[in-house]
Structures are given as C-alpha cells and as structure tokens.
Chain A
C-alpha cells in the first residue's frame, strides 16, 4: 500500500463547478498535512496547510480526519486557472520527511 494515495484523475469540470479531491495516508504517526499545487512543467508550490479543525482559504477548503487517516480538498467556483495537479503531502512524525501523493490532475474547461 502506498503511504499517500490519491485518485490520479484527471478530473474534467466546467468553470464554476465544485470539485473535491480525496487523499488517504497509511502512517498514523503523521503530524502535518498539506496540499501543494503543481502546474505543468513547474515546481510544486504550497496551496495550503491542513489543520485538524479544517480550514478555508477563499474558494479552497481543506479537511482532515485523523481517525480515518483521510484528507480532502474542496474547490468551489472553479476557474480556468485552477487547472493543475494537486499533491497531497504528509509529514512523518518529527523527522521532517515529507511524503508526496501521486497527485490529482484537474482540468477546468470553459
């Protein structure tokens, strides 16, 4: 089993749609959780950290369920510029080591 699993997609949605990505992780000692965004042929960039209470940043909402070892990202009112690959990232304990999921590709169409 992969340490961090994501549905690779691609997710093809129209502009304005709401789309949700899910991610599961296997190590219960994981302490920090993130969503990164990677545009085609570019480096990954932090989209948002994920907190136990859930957090929102504009159109983006992240949720964490430690009991189920599950992380989600919700994007509302999708824009063309949201088209990218979204990487679920988990840190292992206090090692500082980050484990990246394979990414979920989103394509927003006009």
Chain B
C-alpha cells in the first residue's frame, strides 16, 4: 500500500498564526483526504483534495479556514489559518488503498498541533 509522509509531526503555535501541513505520497493517487481528530474524539473528514480542482469541503469546514493545495498526484498541503486553541488537534492525511477494495484508507502518521 502507499506510504504517506506527513510533516510537521507536531508543532506548538501561537493564537492567530497559521500552519501548513504537508503530505507526500510515494505513488500517484487521485484523491487525498484530510481528517481531524480532536482530543478524545474520533476522526472527522475536513475535505477531499483533488488534483487540478478545488478541494471539496465537508459541512462545518470552509476554505478560508482550511485552505488546501493539490499541485500534483503525490502531494497536498493543508493550512490551518488564524489558529485558536480550539484548533488543537491531530490532522491526518489519507489516501485510498488500491486493490484492497473501495474506500479502504491508509493514513499518514498525523500532525499533532497545539495552539496556545
């Protein structure tokens, strides 16, 4: 299955600043997904990043707050803008695992963000 590298693995940021998280996949993939896992909670899909088009955002998430880039088939970035302590979370990049059946996802190790 695909190997996903995410960075930074963790960061501590000040309120009001922005952080960009990078996701690199070792193979070409059509769709990449960005999830958030808040402390003690399960995963929530933020958006689906498609190469060559705008990302598709889930209810409750907007492009101004979470701009996403997808410049090619192996790379994506998620920016958390104008951060507040409520944005403290783990952000995970994922892709579909080819050949394992539809919808099976593999995840990056995650980026643990703490906003002070």
The proximity string for B residues 75-110 relative to A, scoring 1 for CB distances below 8 Å and 0 otherwise, is 000000000000000001000110011111111111
Asked if A42 is at the interface of the complex by the 8 Å CB criterion, the answer is yes
| Partner among A41, A42, A87 whose Cβ is within 8 Å of the Cβ of B42 | A87
Binding-face segment, A13-21, A57-65, A66-74, A91-99: A91-99
Complex Cα distance, B44 from A103, in Å, reads 13
B-side residues, CB < 8 A to A, are: 31, 41-45, 48, 58, 92, 96-97, 100-110, 112
For B42, the chain A residues whose CB sits under 8 A away are 87, 100-103
For A22, the chain B residues whose CB sits under 8 A away are none
Chain A residue nearest in CB terms to B112: A41
Complex Cα distance, B42 from A101, in Å, reads 6
Determine how close the nearest CB of chain B comes to the CB of A49; give it in whole angstroms: 6
Determine how close the nearest CB of chain A comes to the CB of B69; give it in whole angstroms: 20
- The answer to whether B109 and A42 touch across the interface, beta carbons within 8 angstroms, is yes
- The answer to whether A97 and B104 touch across the interface, beta carbons within 8 angstroms, is no
Determine how close the nearest CB of chain B comes to the CB of A101; give it in whole angstroms: 6
Complex Cα distance, B37 from A103, in Å, reads 12
Chain A residue nearest in CB terms to B40: A102
| Partner among A34, A43, A101 whose Cβ is within 8 Å of the Cβ of B92 | A43
In the complex, 18 of the A-B residue pairs with CB atoms within 8 angstroms, ordered by the A residue number, are A32-B101, A34-B104, A41-B112, A44-B43, A44-B107, A46-B100, A46-B104, A46-B105, A49-B100, A49-B101, A91-B102, A96-B48, A96-B103, A97-B48, A98-B105, A100-B44, A101-B42, A103-B42
